[in-house]
Chains A and B, each alone.
Chain A
Amino acid sequence: MTAVPPDTNEPPPPQRGLTREERGRDVSEAQAEVEAETSKVQQYLKAMSPRYVLSMAEGYPVVIKQFLQFCLIIIYPAWVFAVLVGAAMHLLFYVTVYPVLWLLFWPVRAWQKKNNPEEYEATRQKFAKK
């Protein structure tokens, strides 16, 4: 009794998977939304949402995920506080340090605008609000 494979030709190689680089970033939907947000205020608000915080436990096996979400709920007030402090620091930087740097680098920008107008415009476009 001999069973012969139906096709004597060589089977095609099975498809291989993708490496981490080929797959791209591995983030939850909630996190992707936060990262795609262009408005800083909206970004901070979305980062404070419980949905975003709970999504950090995504991808874990069952039970561990629920336990992590339980832990995340416990630290949620601290998380909101931390995000608020971060936002305040961000704002503080733009109110205090940023104007000083802006003033300090004025001559550099003026020189660049005069001597390399194309490059200057390109840089302006790069950092312009979309």
Chain B
Amino acid sequence: MGLFKPSGAAKVSVTPEVVRPRQTVTATVTADKAIDKVSAATLEWGYTNFYRYRWAGRADSTAVQMNDSWWMLGEVGTDAGSEKDVDDWVGVTKVELPVASGQFTGGSSSFTVPSWAPGSSDMLARWSARLTIERGGRDVDTRGDFTVVIGRDNIEFDDEPPARTGGDGKTDIEIVLPSLVFRAGESINGHLILTPHVDMSDAELSIHWGQRQISHPLVRTPAAGGGGARGDTIKLGKGIPLRNGTPVTVPFAVPLPEDAPPTGTAVHSTLLWFLEATLMYSKWTQGIEQVRRQIAVFNAS
């Protein structure tokens, strides 16, 4: 008789919907009618971590190495598509909800978002309260989402030494910033100091922001490239003279997007932000210089 009788459905709602780390959220579980034959009802607080991983074979096997040889240059090769996007649930706190004589009618739970919480974004994590009800019939698995925004005081950021990502350092590029932590939508105002060590040809200078997702899964094989994005190239000047002994200072303003995902570290991936300045010598044989400086981005207003 009860075989096809639908059991009640549960709904999880979380208030407030937007929180910062160290603040408390409350999930309220409501069942439109009592759910029966329940053995356990668990509410788990945590996040869904988005990352990339390598699914296809060993990353450094002979087959892959042969694929990387020079005569395969420009070919798609046999290793294309060996990495893919995936998400995994990371539980933080588990709470047992009350079940009275096999009946579940609802419940609630509070959770203080930990200080180390990665900010919510579709590049890193989606926070939720996840309800799982084990029962005699079909189990219930539902969740209520909430957004964790990161404030300036939630960011722990160690100044990474600037890295040269291109060129041979004939001209040193220093990215000078008033601070290393910026809010989404803010304009980063700073200046570049170009110090040529020998007489070089005139320079064309540009700068852009970039973000990089680093894959470090617990079990799966990490992807070589985690993914990322970069902003528009902002041209700062052409024909900048580079003579030995005369450093040049060029101011810049880089606007960050309004919806910029915040810097953060989760279990399986990390999201980094950086500024990258590129200098092109007008004499093409002299090539380019490129310098990257890591910054941190938060998104709470």
Residue B282 at the chain A interface, CB threshold 8 Å: no
B95 touches A5 (CB 8 A): yes
A15–B268 alpha-carbon span in the complex (Å): 9
Q: How many A-B residue pairs have CB under 8 A?
A: 100
B61→A28 contact, CB < 8 A? yes
Cβ < 8 Å to A, chain B residues 13-66: 43, 55-63
Known: A20-B59, A58-B57. A14 touches B107 (CB 8 A): no
* Contact size range, A: 20 to 34
Q: Which residues of B contact A17 (CB under 8 A)?
A: 216-219, 222, 267-268
| Given A16-B265, A16-B266, A16-B267, A4 and B110 contact (CB-CB distance below 8 Å) | yes
Contact with B along A1-43 (1 / 0, CB 8 A): 1111100101101111111101101111001000000000000
Please tell me if the beta carbons of A58 and B58 are within 8 angstroms of each other in the complex: yes
B187 an interface residue at 8 Å Cβ cutoff?
A: no
The listed residue (B96, B114, B221) touching A3 by CB distance below 8 A is: B96
Taking a contact as CB atoms closer than 8 A, the residue among A11, A52, A60 that contacts B93 in the complex is A11
Q: Is the beta-carbon distance between B222 and A27 smaller than 8 angstroms?
A: no
Q: Does B109 contact A (CB under 8 A)?
A: yes
Q: Which residues of B contact A23 (CB under 8 A)?
A: 222
Q: Which residue of A lies closest to B109 (CB)?
A: A3
**A107 in the interface, Cβ–Cβ < 8 Å?**
no
B267 touches A59 (CB 8 A): no
Q: Is the CB of B63 within 8 A of A26?
A: no
Q: Which residue of A lies closest to B215 (CB)?
A: A19
A56 lies within 8 A of chain B by Cβ: yes
In this assembly, does B261 line the interface, its C-beta being within 8 Å of a C-beta of chain A?
no
Which among B92, B108, B215 is the interface contact of A14 at CB below 8 angstroms?
B92
Take A3-B98, A13-B114, A57-B57 as given contacts and tell me if A20 and B109 are in contact as well, using a CB distance cutoff of 8 Å. no
Contact of B114 among A2, A10, A15 (CB under 8 A): A10
Q: Is the CB of B58 within 8 A of A28?
A: yes
Asked if residues B109 and A14 are in contact (CB atoms below 8 Å), the reply is no
Q: Report chain A residues within 8 Å CB of B111.
A: 5
Residue in B58, B112, B214, B224 whose CB lies within 8 Å of A59: B58
Interface positions, chain B 150-177, Cβ under 8 Å from A, are none
Complex interface: chain A residues within 8 A of B184 (CB): none
CB proximity of B181 to chain A, nearest CB, Å: 20
Interface residues of B (CB under 8 A from A): 43, 55-63, 90, 92-93, 95-98, 106-112, 114-116, 214-219, 221-224, 265-268, 270
Q: State the A residues within 8 Å of B (CB).
A: 1-5, 8, 10-11, 13-20, 22-23, 25-28, 31, 52, 55-61, 64
